[in-house]
Each structure stands twice: as structure tokens, then as C-alpha cells.
Amino acid sequence: MSVEIDWLAFLNVFIAALLGAGAIVLFYAVGLRMLVRSGRVPVVTPAEFTDAITVLSEKEIRKAEKQAAKAARKNPLTEGQKTLAFVAALGCFALCAAAVIGGILIIVIGH
């Protein structure tokens, strides 16, 4: 009994996975950048864990939110440009979601 590996198929899967992962990361990064340009800076308060190395205090969280609001006020874009950047961000996030869902469907349904 011998096992043969189709190296060409393996290479195809490897390249597809690499390109898919790169596309998801690219669109997510561009989406985040557009979200910030639109003046909607995502400020996420960290979860507190019992074994956390760094836990932000309420003062540090308020300071980060204040800096985000200040950066949003300094945005030189017009309201139309901000809206366009926000729509572009949503589009990039939709492309990320579509790529992930498409990958899952390929795995579940088959090729």
C-alpha cells in the first residue's frame, strides 16, 4: 500500500490560503484606516482578567477616549469625505466577512 501526495494540488491549496489570508488582513486594515479617517475612532475598553499583565484604570480609559475625541475634531475632511470614508470602511469589512463566509462554505459544502 503506497500513499501518493499530489504536490501540485497541495501547492494550489497553499497559495489559495496564503492569498485569502492576505486579502482578509489587507481589507480589515484598510477598513480600520477608513473608519479612523471618518472620525469614528474605535475605543475598546479592555477586559479585566485576574491574571492580566496590564489593566487600565478608569483614568487611563477616560484619557484614551478624550484623545480619540480630540483626534476626531482635528480631522480635516469635510462631512461628505467622512461619510465616503465610512462607507468605504463598511465595504472593506463586508469584503472580509464575505471572504470568511466563502471559505467556510467551500470547506462545508466542498469543492
Tens place of pLDDT per residue across the chain (111 aa): 788 888 888 888 889 889 889 999 999 999 999 998 888 877 776 666 656 566 677 888 888 888 877 776 777 778 888 899 999 999 999 999 999 998 888 888 876
Please give the grid coordinates belonging to residue 14.
Answer: 497553499
The long-range contacts involving 26-29, CB below 8 angstroms and separated by at least 24 positions, are 27/92, 27/93, 27/95, 27/96, 27/99, 28/92, 28/93, 28/96
CB contact at 8 A, 39 and 75: yes
Does 59 map to a domain? yes
The total number of structural domains in the chain stands at 1
Does 79 map to a domain? yes
Does 2 map to a domain? no
Does 81 map to a domain? yes
Does 45 map to a domain? yes
How far CA 47 is from CA of 32, 52, 82, in Å, comes to 21, 9, 30
Does 1 map to a domain? no
Does 32 map to a domain? yes
Round to whole Å and give the CA distance between 32 and 35. 5
**Structural domain that includes position 71:** 7-109
Does 72 map to a domain? yes
